[in-house]
Amino acid sequence: MDPIHIAVVGLGKIARDRHLPAIAGNATFSLAATVSPHDTGLDGIPHFASLDELLEQGPAIDAVSLCTPPQVRYDLAAQALKRGVHVFLEKPPGATLSEVVALRDRADKVGVSLFAAWHSRFAAGVAPARTWLAERTIEKVSIVWREDVRVWHPGQAWIWEPGGLGVFDPGINALSILTHILPRPVFLTNATLSIPANRAAPIAADMHFRDTAGAEIHMDLDWRQTGPQSWDIVVETDAGTLKLSSGGAVLALPSGTEHNEDLEYPGLYARFANLIRGGRSDVDIDPLRLVADAFLRGRRVSVEPFID
């Protein structure tokens, strides 16, 4: 079977650290080109300043991975779909719910695959956590997702602009796990968003949810954490406590703890290949919908300016 010829659009930190190694490690894919107006590309791989240029002048491609900021992703995805090119959307899949739904509908009409890639769902502990929780009564959930923005997003001004999500850029990873592992739907009851006086997006958020059976869920997001970082989800059930830590890579159950290797981006590309080969799409908007609900219903408080 011929490989899937894929282009990576956007060559920032996430593309170089995660996407390119995952593509190189998957024989189903062949890296055909890269696209970025701000980068010179990779040795031996055709490079283009824009997706327009690649589609008009470059080698034939079957798929693109869009690793750009979400604010510009819709037009790129729509352009690729119009050419019959399969599209991988780095999280969050777009700057608004409406544009992601429009892309999903367009992909269905033209018969190509669209993948909203929630990488944290592919952390090694998430699938077994989902299986274990399916047979339990959920009593209470606590999420602590705290990290240092200066370490993970140095100098990235776009992330503080409307559509960039601020602290929800990492926080949506926790929501992608939460909505995947709990057996019932979740909805927001209230939230407080802490927004630096000189920024448009929050640096912290305190959020309360319930599932449809009434279980209380609390989420503590903060981008001001220094030292050890916290990416933990604790679920109290009728059969004991489950804990996912290290962003979902470590699973602790009443029966013991499993430490697992990093499987996220290799898992994403295996899933993308299966979607393409099967002629299907996977566009779950639940995590983004909860973020939108936070902006819709959350109370905003101004905090001290953030200087990068």
What is the number of helices (H) and of strands (E) in the chain? Answer: 10, 15
Of the residues 91, 109, 140, 243, only one is catalytic, namely 91
What tokens appear for 65 in the block? 């991975």
Q: Tell me, rounded to whole angstroms, the distance of Cα 277 from its chain centroid.
A: 23
* H or E element, residue 270: helix 264-278
Q: What is the C-alpha to C-alpha distance for residues 49 and 296, in angstroms, rounded to an integer?
A: 37
Active site residue 109: no
Among residues 271, 278, 274, 276, the alpha carbon closest in space to that of 85 is found at 276
* H or E element, residue 55: helix 51-57
| Non-local CB neighbours of 114 within 8 Å, separated by 6+ positions | 77, 81, 86, 87, 89, 103, 104, 107, 281, 282, 283
Query: Which residues are catalytic, by number?
Result: 91
